[in-house]
Amino acid sequence: MSDANGTGEEKPRGLDFIRQIIKDDLDSGRVQQVVTRFPPEPNGYLHIGHAKAFSLSFSVTEEFGGICRLRYDDTNPEKEDEEFVRVIEEDIRWMGFEWEGEPRHASSYFGQFYDWAVELVKAGKAYVDHQSPAEIIENRGTPTIPGINSPYRDRSEEENLEILEKMRSGELDEGACVLRAKIAMDHVNILMRDPSMYRIRKETHHQTGNEWCIYPMYDFAHGYEDAIEGVTHSLCSLEFENHRPLYDWFIENVSVPHRPHQYEFARLNLTHTIMSKRYLRKLVEENYVHGWDDPRMPTIRGMRRRGYPSTAIRKFIEEIGVSKVNSLVDVEFLNFHVREELNRKAQRRMAVLNPLKLTITNWPEGKIDTFTAENNPGDPDAGTREISFTGELWVEQDDYMDEAPRKWFRMAPGKEIRLKYAYYVTVNDAVRDDSGEPVELLCSYDPESRGGDTPDGRKVKGTLHWLSCHDAVDAEVRLYDHLITLEDVSKVEEGKEFLDYVNPESEIIVSNAKVEPALAAAVPEERYQFMRSGYYVADSADHVPGEKPVFNRIVGLRDSWAKIARKG
């Protein structure tokens, strides 16, 4: 596509640092086959930030001939649920990826984790601590003040083993104690100041039921999960950089079957988009949106319902690249990729969002004319369809102005325009309501201009879309805009919270739109270009073919008139 020099050669983009590392490891023989994993916690819906992460892990193995697994990081029974598992799998598949084998569960390794915890205790590298959470925090110190050793830090191996077994067997209450790694309370990295390994939680786990009442912490478990699965490159986001020494410490102090390595890259941030699970949940629970699949949500389900093709999302992710720079990507860049794909693939149709009656006063009574319309001017294989034309039409309200500004190509008193595929038409008069607003345009047409050209070769600047009143179909069209008005959602002003930036006009329901008869038969999730307007998708939930057409605007067309109008 960017083969601008015409030689057939294109300078390839350099490998990103992750791919470079993998290539080097493969070239040097350090690893034979690259193995990655995508480890979501089953406690919510996946969003485009997750999509960036799993696209990387999956793509890298496709490119280098490795394997990528799906693993649920279900080490905390409190907020997790089986319900999310199905959704996660469906979303990943919709994005076009397939994991190796059956999905794994961190919870299925609980027995092994326990054995390794015992191994650490026996090596004098872990201990049971009875300090309260508050005491533990108190004694952890700060970035500049070293922590203080727990009074339980040096008890005997036998005692530790005995209490750990009591923790496991359920003899101890929640919060009574935790198992901690014995590293160093004065470590410069606070995460290394004797991190917790196990906490007691008497909660039913969605996979292991009541088998366990102690649950491993992320740092203790994650590297082991990778080790068990033979993961070579454990990719995660930048905020885990500080965790890497811990990841390595747990692996190095126990007899693991394999030595994985963690690499961190920058997570995705998009303008006008919140990615925090907590806030997304809030939007749903407090009814700012209609659900996790609301077309305004950045969840994969939301984007799917909005009509974004997964291939366009993938192209976008590919194009923004992978680096360690904390960046903020313009959401318009995503929209660019959506338009680019839809321009190639979406069939064109005519639809009038805000109908204004146009009557051709010199049209022969009862005559119906028929024209052949291209389904996609850029793709002859897309074929054609028949559209019919009469003297009573619907046109777009916005295409008429009583007093036209300079450079206005569209309808105005006395101005001649072309109705796409049909005829040249001139506005002669307007019927108005009590407030003076035009409710019907009275026009004359030039019979010589059939098909959109005249024998005398005269030109018109404007070509407008239209619908014939006799066969136009009523439809509901939903228009979407940024859910959050704030460009950089990390820059919430003092005294405000992000909910103050929810855009009240992010969803506009147009209930009296008119569409081509061909659109009534659209299949849910089918995408079209409404000419001169934008790209739309038949809603997956509410559109009923042949009965109730409902379309969502995916993204508008580029609008250079808006730019001209703005400049005056």
**Interacting residues with RNA between 331 and 390 (CB under 7 A):** 332-333, 336, 339-340, 343, 348, 376-378
Q: Which of residues 456-475 bind RNA (CB under 7 A)?
A: 462-463, 465
CA distance 66 to 90: 22
Q: Does 178 bind RNA (CB under 7 A)?
A: yes
Query: 70, 254, 320, 519: which one contacts RNA (CB under 7 A)?
Result: 320
Alpha helices in 442-551 (DSSP H): 517-520
The two three-digit tokens of residue 237, written as one number:
């986001």
Q: Which stretch binds RNA (CB under 7 A): 120-128, 408-416, 429-437, 495-503?
A: 408-416
314 forms part of the interface with RNA (CB under 7 A) = no
Please tell me whether residue 326 binds RNA under the rule CB under 7 A.
yes
Q: Cα separation of 106 and 114, whole Å?
A: 13
Helix-helix angle 110-122:157-169, to 10 degrees: 160
State how beta strands 355-360 and 392-396 pair. Answer: antiparallel
Report the residue from 30, 79, 202, 258 that binds RNA according to the rule CB under 7 A.
79
Residue 522 DSSP SS3: coil
Q: Which of residues 49-68 bind RNA (CB under 7 A)?
A: none
Q: Is the CB of residue 551 less than 8 Å from the CB of residue 537?
A: yes
Q: Does 499 bind RNA (CB under 7 A)?
A: no
Q: Provide, rounded to whole angstroms, the least separation between the CB of residue 329 and RNA.
A: 5
For residue 559, state whether it binds RNA (rule: CB under 7 A): yes
Q: Beta partners for 388?
A: 370
Does 151 bind RNA (CB under 7 A)? Our answer is no
Catalytic residue among 267, 282, 324, 345: 267
400: β partners: 411
Minimum separation from the CB atom of position 452 to RNA (A)? 2
From the list 160-168, 238-246, 501-509, 517-525, the region that binds RNA by CB under 7 A is 238-246
Q: What are phi and psi of 377, to 5 degrees?
A: -60, -25
41 is annotated as an active-site residue: yes
Write out the H or E segment, with its range, that includes residue 199.
Answer: strand 196-200
Among 158, 171, 174, 474, binds RNA (CB under 7 A): 174
523 belongs to the binding site for RNA (CB under 7 A): no
Q: How far is the CB of 161 from RNA (least distance, A)?
A: 19
Q: Select 118 or 417, whichever has its Cβ closest to RNA.
A: 417
How far is the C-alpha of 37 from the C-alpha of 232, rounded, in Å? 9
Which residues in 429-458 contact RNA (CB under 7 A)? 451-453
Number of residues that bind RNA (CB under 7 A): 93
DSSP state of 74: -
Residue 20 CB contacts under 8 Å (≥ 6 apart), including other chains:
14
Which of 31, 136, 256, 382 forms a contact with RNA (CB under 7 A)? Answer: 136
Site membership for RNA, residue 69 (CB under 7 A)? no
Helix (H, G, I), strand (E, B) or coil at 5: coil
Q: Which amino acid is at 189?
A: N
Residues 99-118 contacting RNA, CB under 7 A: none
Specify whether the CB–CB gap between 229 and 104 falls below 8 A: yes
**Comparison of 223 and 540: residue with beta carbon closer to RNA:** 223
Q: Please, which residue, 158 or 332, has the CB nearer to RNA? A: 332
**C-alpha–C-alpha distance, residues 423 and 417, integer Å:** 8
Q: In what order do the strands lie in the sheet with 67-72?
A: 35-38, 67-72, 104-105
x-or-dash string of contact with RNA, 254-273, rule CB under 7 A: ------------x-------
If one asks whether residue 202 binds RNA (CB under 7 A), the answer comes out as no
Supply the DSSP symbol for 338. Answer: H
Catalytic residue among 166, 201, 277, 315: 277
Does the protein bind RNA through residue 321 (CB under 7 A)? yes
Q: How far is the CB of 224 from RNA (least distance, A)?
A: 13
What letter represents residue 479's amino acid?
A: L
| Active centre residues (catalytic) | 41, 267, 277
